Amino acid sequence: MPKRRKESPAPSGRAHGVIEGAGSVVRQPIVETLEKNYMPYAMSVILSRAIPEIDGFKPSHRKLLYTMYKMGLLGPTRTKSANIVGQTMRLNPHGDAAIYDTMVRLSRGYEALLHPYVDSKGNFGKFYSRDMAWAASRYTEAKLDPLCNELFRDIDKDTVDFVDNYDSTMQEPTLLPATFPSILVNANTGIAVGMASNICSFNLREVCETAALRIEHPNHDLLSTLKAPDFPGGGQILYDKKQLEQIYETGRGSVRVRCRWTFDKSENCIDITQIPPTTTVEAIVEKVIDLVKSGRVKEVSDIRDETGLAGLKITIDLKRGTDPKKLMAKLFRMTALEDTFSCNFNVLIDGVPRVLGVGALLDAWTRFRTQCVRRRTAFDLQKKCDKLHLLQGLQAILLDIDKAVRIVRETEEEAEVVPNLMAGFGIDETQAEYVAEIKLRHLNREYILKRTEEIAELQKDVAELNAILDDEKKIRKIIVRELRDVAKKYGQPRRSILLYEDEFANLDEEAEVEAYPVHLFFTKEGYFKKITPQSLRMSGEQKCKEGDAVAEHIEDARNSWDLLFFTDKAQVYKAKASDFPDTKASVLGDFIPAKLSMDEGESAISMVATPDYQGFVLFCFENGKAAKVPLSAYQTKTNRKKLLGAYSDKSPVVSILYLPEDAEVLFLSTQGRRLLVPTASIPEKATRSTQGVQVMTLRKNARLLRAAVYKEGMVPDPARCRRAIPAIGTLPPAEAMQGEQMKL
């Protein structure tokens, strides 16, 4: 039999198999725990990983480009990408895969940037394709693009600060002294902790000219020279001046981008050659196939991805008799062939994340560039002053070269040569060291005269550099000159063309929309769902977020109807039911504030669906007033998505009721008083922002609680509640309130 292992005695004070403190609960302050454990991580992601700085780069980009610069890849020769990745790990210890991914995004072959920083050779994949993967780093080669000359110009002249790398074996720059606003020239996207950044690209020539004009004229109109974003994949930008002004002013907003297409009449097909930057070829093809299979798009007979060496190309074969313009208008609404680029210009300025508009970003870059030019000028000045000082010492011995030779020859100890030269010619130690190091062959008058001829030129240069440092205007002139040089040397024509409203609005309005029946659901939290009757019959209970519930359900709606979403900021956002996908009861639906790009902090509180803008909207306010506004007041000739001043904001709105025709509305105050009012007695106002008329007279500290369209049985005694307006309303009798609660 095997021997049993002899158990060692348990330590004193601890029983066998028992761990001290096991099962006990230790209370920790949540704020202290977050500060110790989570805040360092969050700050690291924000400051050192996800958010770009004013030079236009994240740390990973900057480390890669600086490594390539130190490898001498700014010239004509390329090297294997694996070599670059390995060298970059001296600055960026995050693994070769992450570094190579960064390099791919910056490359010319990937086509993600308007002006690539890496000149690549080999298969680097494509930004517009999900399935076209890039080759491994051992197969590809790269070097820096000539544009990088403008990123690293004068970096060795103390233009920016340097810090130690992670193991203090070498130094790296904290920023790159870019001579143009690279932060706006190339797109940048990052997701940090609690914040994100999404910067679109602008045309280099337009950015440089705008920056130069803003320096010369601080009140320069940005839109006059910086027309709109310019995406590397081209496309068509639907020009919206108000949206662009908002982006230029606040750094937030959205830009609508469409694909570019042509119709081949001989082949009866549509060729799509440019797509929005927010989607991929595969996503578009898959979506069109789904629409064809579901029967929502019947004009398409086939769709193919014909992307090749010539570039991106999606071909859509049409059925006979199909109008290509109307088909594309339908696909713009139903697929990502038209998409929205949401801008969030969040940039680190002096280590602080700030959301800035284009104008403020250009001003911040100008301040940064001014500091770079000032530091470069101070560096050049110091170098020239040092050289001038040495040459002035050399000039001193020109008066008597023989004396200098004699002093050196007659000095017994080497250590006394410099002091004796200082005493003999009245020069300082630095000058004496310089003179003492001159070779014997150079101790002739010709050499010394040639060197001292530089003194006058150096004195002139020193005076000019001092003048630059003393005059801010001269520094700005240098920045402007360099900006225009960059624009002239590297500028390219716009890739994204602009479509103005009169060019696309008419086609959008004429586009045919299939008017099949749907059910519309809108929840209290602002979620929207569109469900077909067939899908609704097969579904169970409507799924909502915890604490949310369906607020409005419209049963007999059509896919072609217009939707109006009223918000708590007295605005209304317009959309079409066809803009939303058919869904199921088991999904949450679309979050309307995000879907319609509402303002920050704005919430949708009511929905109206209409096919013809008949009827009216009744706005009931907390102060007891009600405004009756015809729904036709919200009908617009152009395809406007947002209307300001949708209703009066003088008092908080408590209920928004859409009524196709006059009916009775029950008003309830916080004191429990009820008032039943026929809407025919409320005068209609044509102005949307009208404050309305007093319907319910409120006593001190009372307010209108809610209002609802009256239905039989809502109150036990409707006759008592009917009063001529304005009226205070009636309290329910005591016996009616026993064990009952009135419900609206």
Output the average pLDDT for the chain: 88
Query: Is a pLDDT exceeding 50 seen at residue 22?
Result: yes
Query: Is a pLDDT exceeding 50 seen at residue 8?
Result: no
| pLDDT tens digit sequence for 307-361 | 988 889 999 999 998 989 989 988 998 899 999 999 999 999 999 999 999 999 9
Q: For residue 7, what pLDDT band results from cuts at 50, 70 and 90?
A: very low
Contact 244, 225 (CB under 8 A): no
Residue 98: C-alpha distances to residues 43, 60, 114 (Å): 20, 9, 22
Query: Is a pLDDT exceeding 80 seen at residue 445?
Result: no
| Separation of CA 313 from chain center | 28
Lowest mean pLDDT among 110-114, 244-248, 501-505, 735-739: 735-739
Q: Which helix (H) or strand (E) holds 315?
A: strand 314-318
What pTM was estimated for this model as a whole?
Answer: 0.70
The average pLDDT across 5-14 equals: 48
| pLDDT tens digit sequence for 531-547 | 888 887 776 678 888 88
At residue 725, the pLDDT reads 87
| Separation of CA 719 from chain center | 59
The average pLDDT across 212-224 equals: 94
The average pLDDT across 403-422 equals: 86
| pLDDT tens digit sequence for 428-437 | 889 888 888 8
Strand ranges of the sheet holding 674-678, from the earlier edge strand across to the other edge: 674-678, 664-669, 704-709
Q: What share of the chain has pLDDT > 90, as a percent?
A: 58
DSSP state of 34: I
Question: CATH code for 57-177?
Answer: 3.90.199.10
For the annotated catalytic residues, the residue numbers are: 139
Query: Is a pLDDT exceeding 50 seen at residue 4?
Result: no
Query: Is a pLDDT exceeding 90 seen at residue 733?
Result: no
Q: Which helix (H) or strand (E) holds 270?
A: strand 269-274
| pLDDT tens digit sequence for 549-582 | 888 888 888 988 999 999 999 999 999 888 888 8
CATH topology assigned to domain 260-336: Gyrase A; domain 2 (3.30.1360)
Q: Which helix (H) or strand (E) holds 522?
A: strand 517-523
| pLDDT tens digit sequence for 336-346 | 999 999 999 99
| pLDDT tens digit sequence for 629-640 | 999 999 887 667
Query: Is a pLDDT exceeding 50 seen at residue 502?
Result: yes
Count Cβ atoms within 10 A of the Cβ of residue 371 and give its class: 0-12 exposed, 13-18 middle, 19 or more buried. middle
Residue ranges per structural domain of the chain:
57-177, 184-250+350-512, 260-336, 513-737
Query: Is a pLDDT exceeding 50 seen at residue 148?
Result: yes
In this structure, CATH architecture of domain 184-250+350-512: Orthogonal Bundle (1.10)
Q: Dihedral of the CA atoms 212, 218, 224, 226 (nearest 10)? A: 50
Query: Is a pLDDT exceeding 90 seen at residue 184?
Result: yes
- Helices within 217-295 (DSSP H only): 222-225, 241-250, 281-294
The better pLDDT of the pair 705, 23 is held by 705
At residue 724, the pLDDT reads 87
| pLDDT tens digit sequence for 77-130 | 999 999 999 999 999 888 899 999 999 999 999 999 999 999 999 999 999 998
At residue 510, the pLDDT reads 47
Lowest mean pLDDT among 258-272, 309-323, 501-515, 666-680: 501-515
The average pLDDT across 685-709 equals: 90
Lowest mean pLDDT among 113-117, 712-716, 724-728: 712-716
At residue 353, the pLDDT reads 94
Q: Where are the beta strands (DSSP E) in 70-195?
A: 79-80, 118-121, 141-144, 162-164, 171-173, 188-191
Query: Is a pLDDT exceeding 80 seen at residue 593?
Result: yes
Contact 419, 402 (CB under 8 A): no
Contact 261, 328 (CB under 8 A): yes
The better pLDDT of the pair 445, 608 is held by 608
Distance CA 468, CA 479 (A): 12
Query: Is a pLDDT exceeding 90 seen at residue 721?
Result: no
Token pair listed for 685:
């106002």
CATH topology assigned to domain 513-737: Neuraminidase (2.120.10)
Distance CA 112, CA 126 (A): 8
At residue 5, the pLDDT reads 46
Contact 580, 513 (CB under 8 A): no
Distance CA 341, CA 272 (A): 19
Query: Is a pLDDT exceeding 70 seen at residue 15?
Result: no
Token pair listed for 418:
């410099």
Q: What share of the chain has pLDDT > 70, as a percent?
A: 94
